[in-house]
Every structure is written in C-alpha cells, then in structure tokens.
Amino acid sequence: MRTVLISGAGVAGTTLAYWLAERGWQPTIVELSGGLRSSGNPVDVRGPAVAVAERMGVMGRLHDARTQATSLRLIDEQGQTRARVRAPSGTEIPRADLARILFEAARDRTELILGDTVTALTPGAAGVEVTFARSAPRRFDLVVGADGLHSAVRRIAFGPESDFVDHQGLYVATLPLGQPARAPHEVQLLNAPGRLLSVHPGRGQELAAFIFRHPEAEAPDPVELVVSAYGEMGWRAPELLDRLRAATDFYFDAVSRVRVPAWTRGRVTLLGDAATCVSLFGDGSTMAMAGAFTLADALGRLPIEAALRSYEARHRRLVQPKQHAVGATSHLLVPTTRWGIGLRNAGARLLQPAA
Ligand SMILES: Cc1cc2nc3c(=O)[nH]c(=O)nc-3n(C[C@H](O)[C@H](O)[C@H](O)COP(=O)(O)OP(=O)(O)OC[C@H]3O[C@@H](n4cnc5c(N)ncnc54)[C@H](O)[C@@H]3O)c2cc1C
C-alpha cells in the first residue's frame, strides 16, 4: 500500500486523507496542535467543494454545524443601516468544525499524530525520509504540505516564507466575544476609510473582526496596531477594543497571498493555503477541498510524478482567478476612501437586496 504523510489536519489535509484512503493509499496526518478544536473563523463550502462534501457523505453534518448568518448589514457609525444584502450562497461553518467533520469521515482509515511537526525531509530512492520534532523518523512514498499559510513543509522543501508570501497591505484580527449574538442572523459591517469592523453571529455567539490597511510592520504588537487603527471609530468599536485588550485568545495575522512557482519538489507537494493562500479574500476553504479532491483523483489514476503534474495543471486553473482578484475583492470589503465606501454601499443596494 502506498503511504502519504500529510502535514496539517486543516480543511485541505483532512479532505485529502479521506480521498486518498478511498483510492487505496495509507494516509498519516501530522498536526501541530495538540487537539482538533471546535469553532474558528467562519469559512465557506460552496461551488466545487459542495460536490466533494456530498460524495464524502458529510453535507448533512456541515448543514447542522453551519453559522446562523443569512444577511449582511452595512451600517454607519451610529449603527444605522446603509445597505443590506443576502449572505453569499453556500454553507458557512467555523473553520475548525469543518476540519473536524472532514477528519471524522477519514478517521477509520487515517493515522493521526497530534502535537508534532516535520523538521527535515530527505529525498530517498523512492520516497521521502521524514524527521519529526517528537516522533521517530519514517519513510513515506509522498509528503503533502497542507499546513497552511505559514507551512513548515514549504519552508523545509521549497525555501523561506519570504520567497513565497506577499503582504497585501492589510491585517486581520478576529476575537470570539463569548456572548449571545445581539443580531442572531446578520453580519454587521462598519467601514471607515481603510478599516472594517464586523460582528458575526457565528453559531449564536458573537465573533468580532478587525480588517484594516497598514503597511507591513516590523514585529507588530497586534493589540497596539488594532487600537491605533480603530481608536477613533464609533458604533461598538470602544467596547470591542476593550475586549481585545483583555483577550488572551484571538487570531491576528497579515493578510497574505502565497504564490509558489511550482508546487512539487520530487515527492513533496503543496496543497491548500500552503500553495495558494489568499487569506480571507478568495474562497480558500472551497479551494482547499477542491484541490484535495483533484490531487487524490490524479494519484488514484496515474503514477506519482505524472499525478502531481496533472494536479498542478488542473488545480491552478481554478485558483488563478482567485489569486488575481485579491486586490479587487479587498477594495470591496475595505474601501480606502469615504467615496469608495458610499459607492460600494450603493452598489450593494442595487445588486443584491436582502429579502
Ligand atoms: C480571518 C479569516 C477569515 C476567512 N474567511 C474565509 C471565508 O469566509 N471563506 C473561505 O472560503 N475561506 C476563508 N478563509 C480562508 C480559509 O480559512 C483557508 O483558506 C482554509 O482554511 C485553508 O485550508 P488549509 O487546510 O489549507 O489550511 P488551514 O485550514 O489553515 O489548516 C492548516 C493546518 O495545518 C496545521 N499546521 C500549521 N503548521 C503546522 C506544522 N508545522 N505541522 C503540522 N501542522 C501544522 C494547522 O494547525 C492547521 O490545522 C479565512 C481565513 C481567515 C484567516
């Protein structure tokens, strides 16, 4: 039986484990975290990922775990409505719940190593010798880096992160508020030039997001950066900044695009955000699931080297438009001027009014 080591039990890695097991491979997943957590930022399963989820038999579970958001309300600093639009189609679900449900579908046929990471990859006669931080070294026929934006596999096999990751001039911080949603079915969004503040109802518990333009800061202090960007904002900004100052568990990162000229080096390949991240601006979870299916499908039909070439050729066609659209998408969500915000709101009113 052919063996594959998948680094990362996220959306891409768990989907790949399922589909490779279906095609007779023996998957092992190594995950840095000590456990598979729940919750996380809401992500979408739509377009080509729906068919992948349906064929895995998990669509019902994804539906049960979906967030409650049905519309987006664009507001002003007084909380007054400027436009209201329907939430985009698809199933929206907290990222970690999506990964957990996908993993549960693969669990019976997948070995899971938690709390560990790859530290070295050495090409062998047929396969890769893998060294881990904690587990004993092992050989695999194939290694897949599905370990996200800051992929360790990419760093080890392809080169430093700075060669492949571009800062998009924005940062994002998200903070679970741990309190019942005041507006249980709508995402509320307030823009000021270069800044977006949103409150998402999640699955009944509010989640705040700060997405703002800022040049790349050397070793930024996340809280200081957010407070300096939102200090003057109205609506719920003062309350949410207080919550951020007191928080110990929040997400913060530079909004980044990953571009890797070739996704494969020998028997090591990249998948999901590790290969093609567009942060929150391009259906990343849908792309991760679709890419995993394409890769497994090719590996089920072709010799490994030919399969990796086929995967890259097919999946690049799907992700390239998303990668090109990052600038335009980010300007829609975070316009840089008051005029731009007004124009975006007017467009929203015309194009897709909520019922
Ligand atoms: C704030 C925010 C909002 C987003 N909103 C959306 C959205 O609305 N819709 C959408 O489609 N997408 C959205 N995305 C993008 C989406 O989350 C990603 O594109 C998607 O999760 C990519 O899946 P992945 O499996 O490649 O990576 P991930 O889901 O990030 O999984 C990577 C996994 O690798 C693990 N890992 C990391 N390092 C190592 C290591 N050294 N060794 C082993 N394991 C490791 C991580 O713990 C994680 O489990 C959003 C992203 C962010 C940050």
pLDDT, one tens digit per residue, over 122-151 is 998 789 999 999 999 999 999 999 999 999
**Ligand 1 atom nearest to 8, measured from its CA:** 34
Q: For residues 19 and 301, what is the distance between their CA atoms, to the nearest angstrom?
A: 12
Mutation to probe ligand 1, out of 19, 36, 41 (largest number of atoms < 8 A from CB): 41
Q: How many A from CA of 211 to the centre of ligand 1?
A: 17
Residues with CB under 6 A from ligand 1: 7-13, 30-33, 41-44, 95, 117, 146-148, 152, 172, 174, 272-273, 279-280, 283-286, 288
Please tell me the predicted confidence (pLDDT) of residue 349. 85
Q: How many A from CA of 268 to the centre of ligand 1?
A: 20
Q: How many A from CA of 98 to the centre of ligand 1?
A: 11
Residues forming CATH 3.30.9.30 domain(s) in the chain: 169-255+331-351
Q: For residues 35 and 235, what is the distance between their CA atoms, to the nearest angstrom?
A: 37
Nearest alpha carbon to residue 274 among 330, 225, 319, 223: 319
Which parts of the chain register pLDDT below 70? 38-39, 352-355
Nearest alpha carbon to residue 173 among 243, 218, 223: 223
Q: How many A from CA of 280 to the centre of ligand 1?
A: 10
Please tell me the predicted confidence (pLDDT) of residue 284. 95
Residues forming CATH 3.50.50.60 domain(s) in the chain: 3-69+92-164+257-326
pLDDT tens column, 290-305: 999 999 999 999 999 9
Please tell me the predicted confidence (pLDDT) of residue 218. 85
Cross-strand bridge partners of residue 191:
196
- What's the CATH class of domain 169-255+331-351? alpha beta
Please tell me the predicted confidence (pLDDT) of residue 339. 96
Q: How many A from CA of 258 to the centre of ligand 1?
A: 13
**Ligand 1 atom nearest to 46, measured from its CA:** 11
Nearest alpha carbon to residue 257 among 161, 165, 150: 165
**Ligand 1 atom nearest to 277, measured from its CA:** 19
Write out the two tokens for 226. Answer: 């957010």
Please tell me the predicted confidence (pLDDT) of residue 352. 64
**Ligand 1 atom nearest to 33, measured from its CA:** 47
Cross-strand bridge partners of residue 253:
172
**Ligand 1 atom nearest to 36, measured from its CA:** 49
Mutation to probe ligand 1, out of 11, 113, 165, 329 (largest number of atoms < 8 A from CB): 11
Angle at the Cα of 302 (from 297 to 305), degrees rounded to 5? Answer: 105
Which architecture characterizes domain 3-69+92-164+257-326 according to CATH?
A: 3-Layer(bba) Sandwich (3.50)
